[in-house]
Amino acid sequence: DVDIIAHCIAGSNTSKKYSHNEIWSLIAYRGAPNWFITFTPGEISHPISLYYALTKQKILISVPIKDECRKLLIQNPVAGVQFFHFAVNLFLQHILGVNSDHLGVYGKTGSSYGTIEQ
């Protein structure tokens, strides 16, 4: 069956079907979510994304202008992905309290599920 292989391919119809099944299973187990969050970190203007974009291991004191930032991230698209992963993990840990020893800003997080639009 093609689905066995295709579920590993990000953005494929099969991977989306698997995600839908996981979400519905979570809803059946935990109940409907109380709220949703759409999180969009802005990698073009953030100094950490520029740190990932630069090949040299140095930290910038002055942040380049927006056009220069955009060029750096276009030359190194993996840097945007690294920044996104970093920002989402910080948000989950420090704001929602997921995998943390403290409560989140909104109290105890019972469960979470994240998807990335492609």
What's the chain's length in residues?
Answer: 118
Contacts 24+ apart (CB under 8 A), 69-78: 69/44, 69/45, 70/44, 73/43, 73/44, 73/49, 76/52, 78/52
Q: So where are the chain's domains?
A: 1-32, 34-118
Q: What is the mean pLDDT of residues 17-30?
A: 93
This prediction's pTM: 0.68
> What mean pLDDT is reported for the chain?
81
pLDDT value of position 1: 62
33-55 as b/e, with b when 16 or more CB fall inside 10 Å?
A: eeeeeeeebebeebebbbbbbee
Q: Is the pLDDT of residue 27 over 90?
A: yes
pLDDT per residue as tens digits for the range 42-97? 766 677 777 777 666 555 556 667 787 788 888 888 888 888 888 889 899 998 99
